[in-house]
Structure 1
Amino acid sequence: MESCENNSSPPSSPPIILSPCAACKILRRRCVEKCVLAPYFPPTEPLKFTTAHRVFGASNIIKFLQELPENQRADAVSSMVYEANARIRDPVYGCAGAICQLQKQVTELQAQLARAQAELVNMQAQQANLITLVYSEMAKSQQQCSPQPCGNFDSFEAFFFDQGGQDEDFIHGYPLEPLWT
């Protein structure tokens, strides 16, 4: 007798093949579902694991990650990769060398800023001295000319800018020269 079985079960979906994480791919091992390295070394970033592996070794990286709570692992991996890159560039000092260099730059920039601030204070003092000198000269000229009208010297601005059409670089025919160079 012919049996007519109806295989009406839905066709099974093809198995999902996940790419192994970069760590397992480089170590040539099977990437298990609960791979501790997979969340931090995706298959798209093999250089990240290669760099950390070169300096720390795979077993140390795994041990470090297993000892940490999960919420700190991503930061730990970032730090390991950063330190590994620094160690490759500078095998002796690593990150400490970069930090020392940056501290030296900060010290140099602070000294440069202090010199610029001192120069600014010096220029402000020169400006104040110049203004005092101009006011004292104005007072002397007003005292000398008091019997006769000498012009409108009621204010500092009038002294400098009411020159009756003369060039702004000259005050009463005398060129302005800088006090400093």
Structure 2
Amino acid sequence: MLDTKHLQLLKMEGSASSDQTTITTSSSCRGVGMVMSPCAACKILRRRCIADKCVLAPYFPPSDPLKFTTAHRVFGASNIIKFLQELPEAQRADAVSSMVYEANARLRDPVYGCAGAICQLQKQVIELQEQLAKAQAEIINIQCQNANLMALICTMEFSQSSQTTAPNNLRSLSNFASSPRSDLSDTGFLSESNLGLLYDQSLWT
């Protein structure tokens, strides 16, 4: 009985130790995998990558090897490393983006490179400025047409109002001429007494 129990305990201890060894080996493998994953630049250049000392590792991750391949074809790895070492860390990411963009432009247009893209953009700017000038001229023309139309409408309304007021003025004049005045129709001032008074006043004056 004691032997069987002792054997069972030994088996249990052996299984536990084997589990611990598998855990340690798996964890060690994971750590080795994390440390030994090279960046895209070191992988393409086939050299050992030390993450703490590699200048290219923060900007060329292993998930995007095309980024370094494009820059390496135009500038070369030594020039890229030299450019990055001369710059502060705050400007290195922008410098890598600029180099990758310039490399893509050079591969698309080997003759002009970025200058060709800049010339094309300048042409587009000039064309857009011309279109803007035409649109502004059309706007000014439309505004002038609207102003002339409003002036014409105002003159037409004024002429119509003057034509309607002219007959009324003629009617008032005709009514004034046809209506007899009471002071003129009254001939009492031509009586003999009034004439005598006028004659006497003219003699004494």
Residue of 105, 108, 116 corresponding to 1:89: 108
SS, match of residue 126 in structure 2: helix
Distance 2:66 2:24 in 1: 40
SS, match of residue 82 in structure 1: helix
Distance 1:11 1:38 in 2: 28
Please give the per-residue CA displacement for 1:109-138, whole angstroms capped at 9, x wherever unaligned: 111101110111011100100110011011
Q: Which ranges in structure 2 are unaligned for 5 or more consecutive residues?
A: 1-16, 169-205
Q: What is the aligned partner in structure 2 of residue 41 from structure 1? A: 60
Root-mean-square deviation (CA), in Å? 2.0
SS, match of residue 39 in structure 1: coil
Q: What is the aligned partner in structure 2 of residue 177 from structure 1? A: none
TM (norm. structure 1) is 0.73
Aligned pairs (5 A) from 1:153-172: none
Q: How far is the alpha carbon of 1:93 from its aligned partner?
A: 1.4
Greater per-residue helix proportion: 2
TM (norm. structure 2) is 0.65
Runs of 4+ in 1 over 3 A off after TM superposition: 10-13
Residue of 49, 57, 81 corresponding to 1:31: 49
Aligned pairs (5 A) from 1:83-122: 83-122=102-141
Q: How far is the alpha carbon of 1:100 from its aligned partner?
A: 1.4
Q: Which ranges in structure 1 are unaligned for 5 or more consecutive residues?
A: 1-6, 149-181
**Is structure 2 residue 74 aligned with structure 1 residue 55?**
yes
**Is structure 2 residue 92 aligned with structure 1 residue 76?**
no
Distance 1:109 1:68 in 2: 38
Distance 2:56 2:44 in 1: 12
